[in-house]
Amino acid sequence: MTDMHAQIVLFDAFDPLDAIAPFEVLSAGSDAVGGDLVVELVSAEGPREVVSGTRGLTLTATAALDPTKPGYVIVPGASGPISGDPDDGIDTISVLLANAVETPLIPLMRKAFDNPDVTVATVCGGSILLSMAGLIERRHATTHVLGIDVLDASGVCAVRARVVDDGDFVSGGGVTSGLDLALHLLDRSYGPQIAHAVEQLFEYERRGTVWRPSGREPVEV
C-alpha cells in the first residue's frame, strides 16, 4: 500500500496556527496508523526557513511541495493586519494573500487539483488565497467569518460552517478550525477509531457538523 502524504504548505506571512494545528493532529494520526501517513511542512520553493505573519515566528519547510504525491495538500491563511491602507505601507491579510498568489505556489496547486489522488484542504484564509487564483470557482468552501463575503464575491459557494467537505476540496473556518479539519481528514482516510484516538490524546472533541453538498436541503422559514 502506498503511503499517504499530508503536505502542509508554508508561504511568507502564513498564519502559524493554521499550519501547526493540522500538523500536530495529523502527526498524531500518523503515529496511530503506524506511520502510514507522512506529514511534512513544505513550500513551493523547496526547503527553506519561512517567516510567518505573527511576530516573525519562523518554521522550516523540509521539502518542496510535490503535487504528484497522493494524500492531502493543506494551505493555511495569512497572519497580519485586518485593516489598513496598503498605500501607507500596511500589508493587510488581503495583500499578503495576494502576494502568495504571485509565487510558484499557484501552478503547483493547480497540478494538485488536477491529481485525482490528491485532496486539497485549506484553513481560514487559505480558501481566499485559492479563490484569488481562480482555483475554486463554484466550489463549496468556508473561511474565517470576516472573509465569508469576500469568498462569496469571488464566485465561490461560501458556506458558514466549521468544516466544508466538497469532495476533493475540504476547507475550514477560522484558525482553530485546523484541528477539526485535520480530525475530519483522519476520519475520512482511516476511520472514526483513529480520529477518536487523537481526540482523546489531545483532550479535544471536534466542533460543528461537517457540511457537505448532499442530502435534503432545509426548508426556508
Mean pLDDT per block of 10 residues along the chain (221 residues) reads: 89 98 98 97 98 97 98 98 83 94 98 98 98 97 96 96 98 97 98 98 96 93 75
pLDDT for the residue numbered 2:
67
The pTM of the full predicted model, rounded to 2 decimals, is: 0.96
How far out from the chain centre does Cα 130 lie? Answer: 10
Residue 162 sits at the vertex; the CA angle it makes with 159 and 165, to the nearest 5 degrees, is 65
Q: Phi-psi region for residue 33, left (φ > 0), alpha (ψ -120 to 50) or beta? A: alpha
Give me the sheet containing 163-165, strands edge to edge: 63-64, 37-43, 4-9, 71-75, 118-123, 169-172, 163-165
Residues near 142 by Cβ (< 8 Å), separated by ≥ 6?
A: 127, 148, 151, 158, 159, 160, 161, 162, 163, 164, 171, 172, 173, 177, 211
pLDDT for the residue numbered 90:
87
Residues near 15 by Cβ (< 8 Å), separated by ≥ 6?
A: 52, 53, 54, 76, 77, 78, 79, 123, 124, 125, 175
pLDDT for the residue numbered 1:
54
**Alpha carbon distance 42, 65 (integer Å):** 5
**Alpha carbon distance 160, 64 (integer Å):** 33
* Domains detected in the chain: 4-202 (3.40.50.880)
Q: Are strands 58-61 and 48-51 parallel, antiparallel or unpaired?
A: antiparallel
Residue 77 sits at the vertex; the CA angle it makes with 28 and 164, to the nearest 5 degrees, is 70
**Alpha carbon distance 82, 28 (integer Å):** 32
Distances (CA, A) of 133 to 109, 140, 195, 202: 10, 16, 32, 35
Of 176, 172, 165, 182, nearest to 32 by C-alpha is 182
